[in-house]
Amino acid sequence: MFTAIAAMGVSTTLMAAEFALYPTGPSADSAFIRFVNASPAPLEVVAQPGQAPLRLETAQPVSLLFPVDSSKPVKGTLVSGGQKLPIDLKIEPSEFVTVFAVPDGAGIQQAVVREPENDFNALKASLAFFNVDASCADAALLAAGRNAELFKSVPVNTAQRRLINPVQLSVQLVCANANVGAALDLGQLKAGERYSVMLVPSANGPRLLHATDTLSH
């Protein structure tokens, strides 16, 4: 599994600073967590008392993947405006957990999606489709312009992942057998990399976010 993670590479982004959000344990017990701000306001993740929070702006809503010690609960707080939501999760070894802050009236609510360790193939790209929007019935994802179904009927608060050829790819969201919104350009997928497309709610209906699954070091 760690060979696969190392193969992700580390993007040079504003959030790629060298800091550990959570303490990590032995490599055999490592798990991974990231945060997604699907709300219309900035989000702060407070992991440890006295530590500067991780701030997720709406223009860059997906954090890096942070290693955590799976032998201990992962705790913290999601802060949006004056609202605070506690984080208290048990993450299994090699598990990937994505914590979403999604709109809930004038505030936010938390949605947690878990992924087990997945097979790695250095010749393929790994693509996941996350669904945290209950308003999208029979959520599916198509390869835009190719009439090819990538993911079908993904239940809310779950994710599906598959290996695909490293190609230039745009994806189309489908709800209840009807296209929703414009196609989303993912660019050129690279062999050995992990990618995520995320269906989240908004005031204007279902929308898609996307990210390369990059590990924080």
Q: What is the model's pLDDT at position 83?
A: 97
CB 96 within 8 A of CB 57: no
Gap between the Cα atoms of 96 and 100, Å rounded: 13
148 within a domain of the structure (yes/no): yes
Quick check: 2 pLDDT over 90? no
Between 52 and 26, the higher pLDDT residue? 52
Q: What is the model's pLDDT at position 19?
A: 62
Quick check: 17 pLDDT over 80? no
Q: What percent of the chain has pLDDT over 70?
A: 91
Quick check: 15 pLDDT over 70? no
111 - beta bridge partners? 100
Gap between the Cα atoms of 90 and 101, Å rounded: 18
Confidence of residue 14 (pLDDT cuts 50, 70, 90): very low
Indicate the pTM of the whole model: 0.90
56 within a domain of the structure (yes/no): yes
Q: Which of 129, 147, 146 is nearest to 138 (CA)?
A: 129
Which CATH number belongs to the domain containing residue 85 in this structure?
A: 2.60.40.2890
Residue 155's domain comprises 2-212
The pairing of beta strand 207-212 with beta strand 194-200 = antiparallel
57 within a domain of the structure (yes/no): yes
Gap between the Cα atoms of 189 and 87, Å rounded: 33
Tell me the DSSP string of 155-198. Answer: PTTEEEEEEE---EEEEEEEETTEEEEEEEEEEE--TT-EEEEE
| Number of compact structural domains in the chain | 1
Average pLDDT, the chain: 90
Over range 26-34, report the average pLDDT.
Answer: 85
217 within a domain of the structure (yes/no): no
